[in-house]
Amino acid sequence: MERAVRALLVIAILAFIVPFGLPAPAQSTAVSLTLLSQSPWSARYGDPRLTVSIVATNFGTTAFGHLSVGISIGPHYETVVGYESSLEEGPSSTVFQTVQPVQGRLEPNTSTTLKASIDLSKVTGIDQTDNQVYPARVDVRSNGSVLASLTTPVLYFIRRPEAPMLLSSWIELAPTIAFGPDGRLVDTGFPRHWSIRRSEQRPVTP
């Protein structure tokens, strides 16, 4: 079980540091919701708050008022398969739910940034004895009706890591073969392409 939890923690962390791991927004006919920022993790020994910022875009012709942000957290993941499926389907059940009113209106053809925050150390249903990863659904509401939602993983740590976690990633590229089996150049555009690439190189400084 401990090994499975560690694997889930690694996968969830990667969701925040590689582009293809970001949670996909759920779209409605008129309103789109995008995750702008989220606490990479929350920790009882540090900052236990989960803070989420979302961007709501109104593509319709109707303005929406009395806005609020809802956060629903499901039971912690038991398997990697459960983690992957929840990113598409959202949590199948909830252990905690809150709705926080926000200021402003969502006018037609405009976007607005909304923010919500909760203290996970005070949430019933959140394990306060072990590190876990939870599915969460974040939505924007108008007069209590959900306009759009998205699903994102939530990492909650109880104790400090015993050892550093080393992560690495790679991308496989399949370039055009510039040389034939006999060693002769078959891609006549290759030299020009390489010279352009060399001219685009710039030193990188931290």
pLDDT for 172-184, tens place per residue? 777 666 777 787 7
Report the share of the chain in percent with pLDDT over 90.
Answer: 43
CA distance 187 to 9: 45
The total domain count for the chain is 1
User: pTM for this structure?
Assistant: 0.66
Within-domain flag for 143: yes
3-class secondary structure per residue, 186-197: CCCCHHHHHHHH
Q: Which residues, in sequence order, are bridge partners of residue 157?
A: 43
Written as six digits, the tokens of 128 are: 């306060």
Q: Is position 167 within any domain?
A: no
Q: Is 90 domain-assigned?
A: yes
Q: What is the DSSP string of 140-165?
A: EEETTEEEEEEEEEEEEESS--SSPP
Q: At what angle do helices 2-17 and 80-89 cross, to 10 degrees?
A: 40
C-alpha distances (whole Å) from 165 to each of 14, 80, 81, 177, 189 are 12, 19, 22, 37, 43
Specify if 58 maps to a domain. Answer: yes
CATH number for the domain that contains residue 58 = 2.60.40.10
With bands split at pLDDT 50, 70 and 90, how would you rate the model's confidence at 109?
A: very high
**Is 182 within the bounds of a domain?**
no
As given in the structure block, the two tokens for residue 71 are 């956060």
The pair of structure tokens assigned to 70 is 């809802």
User: Residue 105: inside a domain, yes or no?
Assistant: yes
- pLDDT (tens digit, 9 = 90+) per residue, 8-58? 555 555 454 444 334 444 444 689 999 999 998 999 998 999 999 999 999
Per the domain annotation, does 79 fall within a domain?
yes
Is residue 4 within 8 Å of residue 133, measured between CB atoms?
A: no
Pick from 180, 154, 155, 151: nearest CA to 70: 151
* pLDDT reading at 66 higher than 90: yes
128-153 in b/e form (b: 16+ CB < 10 A) is eeebbbbbbbbbbbbeeebbbbbbbb
Question: Which residue segment(s) compose the domain that 60 sits in?
Answer: 2-157
| Cross-strand pairs, 100 | 69
Q: Let me know if residue 189 belongs to a domain.
A: no
